[in-house]
Amino acid sequence: MTETQSSSASLRRLVPRIFSKAQPAGAVDRLVRTARLHHPKADLAVIERAYVVAERAHRGQKRQSGEPYITHPVAVAQILADLGIGPKTLAAALLHDTVEDTDYGLDELRAEFGDEVAMLVDGVTKLDKVKYGESAQAETVRKMIVAMSKDIRVLVIKLADRLHNARTWGFVPAEKAAKKATETLEIYAPLAHRLGIQTIKWELEDLSFAVLYPKLYAEIESLVKQRTPQREELVQTVIDSVNEDLKAAKIRGKVVGRPKQYYSIYQKMIVRGRDFDEIYDLVGIRVLVNSVRDCYAVLGAIHARWTPIPGRFKDYIATPKYNLYQSLHTTVIGPQGKSVEIQIRTHEMHQHAEYGVAAHWKYKENVNGGKGASKATENDMVWLAHISDWQAETSDPGEFLDSLRFEIGAKEVYVFTPKGRVIGLPAGATPVDFAYAVHTEVGHRTMGAKVNGRLVPLESELNSGDVVEVFTSKNPDSGPSQDWLSFVKSTRARNKIRQWFTKERRDEAIEQGKDAIARAMRKQNLPLQKLMSQDTFAEVAAQMRYEDVSALYAAVGEGHISTQSVLEKVAALLQGDNEAEQAAIDFPVRGRTRSVTHSDSGVLVRGAPDILVKLSKCCTPVPGDDIVGFVTRGSGVSVHRSDCHNVQELLKEPERMIDVEWAPSSKSLFLVHIQVEALDRAGLLSDVTRVLSEHHVNILSATVSTSNNRLAISRFVFEMGDTTHLERVLNAVRRIDAVYDVYRVNGG
C-alpha cells in the first residue's frame, strides 16, 4: 500500500464525513421540491432547464471520486436551496462550472437564461480562473471581494461550491486537501460567518478541522459521544423547565438543544486553555418565540427560575451584530449546578441567524419579480463596501490578505454617534477609528474626542455602548498624525492614514522641492530651462538612488537632501559631460575658492584663508540671517546674527570685525532654537515632537514649562542641514491644535 493510500485509509477510518458520495437518483426532483417549499409561487422551470443544459455539457466528465461530474453542481444547488435561495440563483449554481469546464459559452448561456443568471455564472467563473503564482491566495481573495461587492450571490454560490468540495476532500491527495482546508479556515469560513450563514460556516470549520487534525477530531468526537447520555438528560431537564415557564406565561414557543460544534470545542480547549469537561458542561439551549416582546418575557422567566451568571448577558436584539444576527444570550446556573447557555430569539431572527444574507434573497427573488428588495440588505452589508474600498487601496497582496483576515475575523464593539447611529468597530478601536468609520474627511481632520460626554485622549479604547463625539479642525490643511498608526485598529483607518501621507504629502513635497531647486538655480544664474529640458536631473536622481525626478524633488521638499547638494551634483555631471559648457555656467560656491575659504560651518571669510569659523551659540545664526564676523583670540572667527545682543559689545573693537557671508555645503549643519507657545493640553509635547520629526528635524534638546494659567512654553534645539524650509517647519508647528505662536529665539 502506498503512502497516499495509507493516508486515505486512515482518514476514511477517522473522518468518514469527507468521503461523501453522490446523492441517490431523484436528486433533481428533491432540488425542485426544496425550491418550491421556499418559493411556492415562483416559476421553477428555469431550474429544470439549467439541469438539462448542465448535464449535457458535463456529460462524460468525472470527479476524482469517480462520480459523474453533474453530481457536483446538483449538490451545490441543493445546499443553496436548503438556505431558501431563489430559482435564478439555483440555476446559476447548476451552471456555475459549464463556462469554465465545457464548450458551453457565456454568450450562449446569456441567450438561453438571461443577463442575471449569466452575470452570476460569470462572477463565479472569474473567481475560479484567477491564478497568480505565490500570491495566488491573496489575489484570488482580492478578486472574490470585488465580485462579491457587485452581487453577494456570487460569493454565496462560491461558499456552497467550497462546502460540497470539502465534503469530498477524502478523494483528493492529502497535501492538496490540507492546503484547501487551511484556505477554508482562513478565508471561506470567516466570510460565511461575516455573511451570517452559520450553517455553512460551522460545516466548513468542522470539515477543515477534520482534514487538518484528523486524530484530534476523532478524539473530540469520541469524548462528545461518551458524554451524550448525561448531556441529553441535562438538556431535557432544562427544556422541560423552560416549557413550563412558557406555558405559565401563555407564550407559544419552541425549545431545542443546540449541538456542540467540534471545531468550536477544539478552539476553546486549545486557544482558551479550557478543560473538555468544563466546556461540555456549558449546555446550549435555544428558545424560539413569535415576537420581540415574548423574547424579553421568556428572559425574565428564565432569570426568575435560575441565577444568571454576571457579565454573560448580551442583548443582540437591541444592538444587532454586523451580520444581521439578533438574539438574547444569557448563561445561568441550571440544574445540578451546571452552566447552561440559553439563546432566545424570534423565528425570523432564527432564519437570519442560520442563513444570514442568504435569507434576504428568498424575498428579493420572490417579490415583484426581484424588484422588491428591502434596503435593509444594502444597509446590513455596508461592510462589503468598506472591504472593496480597502482592497483597492492596498497594493501589496500579502498586506491585503492580512488585512482581510483581521477584518473578517475580528471581534467587534458597537458605539453610538451623538444622534444614535450604531457604528461597528474592531475590538480595541479608538475615537480615530470611529472618525474614519463616519467619513474619511472626518478622520483626517480629527483633533479631539468626547466619550460619554467626557474629553478623552485619541488613543483611548472604546467599549460597546459608548457615545462618541469627535471634534474636527476647520483648517483645510489639517491632516492625520503619523503616530495614529500605532494605535488605530481598523483596516479602513490604517489605510486611509497611510494613503494621506503617501499621496497628499508627496504631491506637496514634490512641488516644494521643485520650487526650491528653481529658486536656487535662479539665484546662482543657472540656465534653468536648459537644464530642466535635458535629462540632467534624471541622471542626478539615479546617482542619488531615487526612482525618478519626482522622487528627487520630493526628497528636497521633505528636507531629506539640500538644494545645494543637488546643484553640486548637477555641476559635476555637466563638468564631466561638457567642459566647454561647464565653463560658461557659473556656480558661485565653486568659483570663489581662491579668495575665500569655507568650512562645514557654511560661512565664507574674505581674505582669511584656512581660518577656523564657528557659529556662535548665543544667537545660532542660520543661512538667510544677516551675519557679522568677529576675530577671536585663538579661536578663529565667531559668526553672530547682526541683531544678536552681544554684537553691540563686539563693535567696540571694530578692528576685529571681518566680512563673512553664507555658503552652505551639503555637509553643513546648523543649530536652531525655537520657542512654542500654546495652551496646555494632554499630548501637546508629543504632537510637537512628532511634527518636527515628520519634517526630518534632528531634535537635540527640549524643555517645557507650564504656568498657573495653563500656558505651556516649550523650547527646542535641533539641527538642520537645509534651512530653506525652516519657515515651513514653523508653519507646521503653528497648525498644531492649541499652539498659538512659534518663533526662533536666541540660544543664550
Could you count the other beta carbons within 10 Å of the beta carbon of residue 281?
Answer: 18
- Out of 31-35, 619-623, 665-669, the most confident range is 31-35
Q: Helix, strand, or coil here: 63?
A: coil
**More confident call, 682 vs 344:** 344
Q: Which residues face 712 on adjacent strands?
A: 678, 706
The dihedral sign for the CA sequence 165, 169, 171, 175: positive
Alpha helices by DSSP H, listed for 356-475, are 358-364, 375-380, 382-393, 397-409, 431-438, 440-444
Say which residues have a Cβ less than 8 Å from residue 366's Cβ, sequence separation at least 6. Answer: 39, 41, 42, 86, 372
Identity of the amino acid at 690: R
Largest Cα–Cα distance in the chain? 115
The span from the CA of 187 to the CA of 170, in Å, is: 21
Average pLDDT over residues 555-564: 73
Q: Give yes or no: 101 in active site.
A: yes
For residues 238 and 391, which has the higher predicted lDDT (pLDDT)?
238
What residues have CB less than 8 Å from 63, skipping those under 6 apart? Answer: 69, 71, 72, 168, 171
- Pairing mode, if any, of strands 446-451 and 468-472? antiparallel
How much is the pLDDT for 344?
95
Instruction: Compute the average pLDDT of residues 656-676.
Output: 79
* 143 pLDDT above the threshold of 60: no
Name the more confident of 323 and 740. 740
Q: Looking at residues 83-112, what average pLDDT do you find?
A: 89
Among candidate residues 48, 55, 67, 100, the one labeled active-site is 100
> Mean of the per-residue pLDDT values for the chain?
77
- 694 burial (CB, 10 Å; 0-12 / 13-18 / 19+) is middle
| pLDDT for the residue 90 | 92
What's residue 452's pLDDT?
87
Per-residue confidence (pLDDT) for residue 589, from 0 to 100: 38
Confidence of residue 500 (pLDDT cuts 50, 70, 90): confident
Q: Which residue has the higher pLDDT, 409 or 68?
A: 68
| Partners of residue 628 on adjacent β-strands | 640
Output the CA torsion sign for 45, 47, 51, 54: positive
For 405-449, the pLDDT digits (tens) are 565 565 677 788 888 777 878 889 999 999 998 888 899 899 889
Q: Would you state the pLDDT for residue 408?
A: 59
- Residue 660's φ and ψ, nearest 5 degrees, are -135, 155
pLDDT at 603: 81
Arithmetic mean of pLDDT, 110-130: 83
Is 245 an active-site residue? Answer: no
Q: What is the DSSP string of 9-53?
A: HHHHHH-GGGG--PPPTTHHHHHHHHHHHH-TTS--HHHHHHHHH
Kindly state the cell numbers that stand for 563: 538644494
Output 603 or 60, whichever has higher pLDDT.
Answer: 60
Least confident interval from 242-251, 331-340, 448-457, 548-557: 548-557
Region for 170 from its dihedrals, namely left if φ exceeds 0, alpha if ψ lies in -120 to 50, beta otherwise: alpha
Residue 453 scores a pLDDT above 50: yes
3-state secondary structure of 605: strand
Phi, psi of 505 (to 5 degrees): -65, -35
For residues 242 and 44, give the distance between their C-alpha atoms in angstroms, rounded to a whole number. 41
Nearest to 481 by CA among 639, 688, 292: 688
> Residue 460 has what pLDDT?
92
Q: How many residues does the chain have?
A: 748
What grid cell was written down for 609?
A: 584663508
Give the SS3 label for residue 596. strand
- Segment 169-223, tens digit of pLDDT: 888 888 888 888 888 887 788 778 877 788 888 899 989 988 888 877 887 777 7
The model's pLDDT over 366-391, given as tens digits with 9 standing for 90+, comes to 444 444 444 444 444 455 555 556 55
Q: Which of 55, 101, 108, 515 is catalytic?
A: 101
Choose the weakest-confidence range: 247-256, 320-329, 592-601: 592-601
- Grid coordinates representing 587 are 556656480
pLDDT of residue 184: 86
Take residue 734 and report the three cell numbers written for it.
503653528
pLDDT tens track for 294-318: 999 999 999 999 999 888 889 999 8
pLDDT for the residue numbered 3: 47
| 548 pLDDT more than 70 | yes
User: What's the CA dihedral at 673, 677, 680, 686 to 10 degrees?
Assistant: -40
pTM for this model (two decimals): 0.57
CA distance 473 to 478: 7
Residue 307, SS3 per DSSP: strand
Higher pLDDT, 24 or 283: 283
| Lowest mean per-residue pLDDT among 51-60, 172-181, 227-236 | 227-236
Name residue 449's amino acid. Answer: A
Sequence-separated (6 or more) residues with CB below 8 Å from residue 228? none
The pLDDT of residue 377 is: 46
Q: How many C-alpha atoms does 152 have within 13 Å on its Cβ side? A: 23
Q: Which residue has the higher pLDDT, 720 or 158?
A: 158
**How far apart, in whole angstroms, are the C-alpha atoms of residue 231 and residue 717?**
72
Burial code (b: 16+ CB inside 10 Å, e: under 16) for 234-251 equals bbebbbebbeebbeeeeb
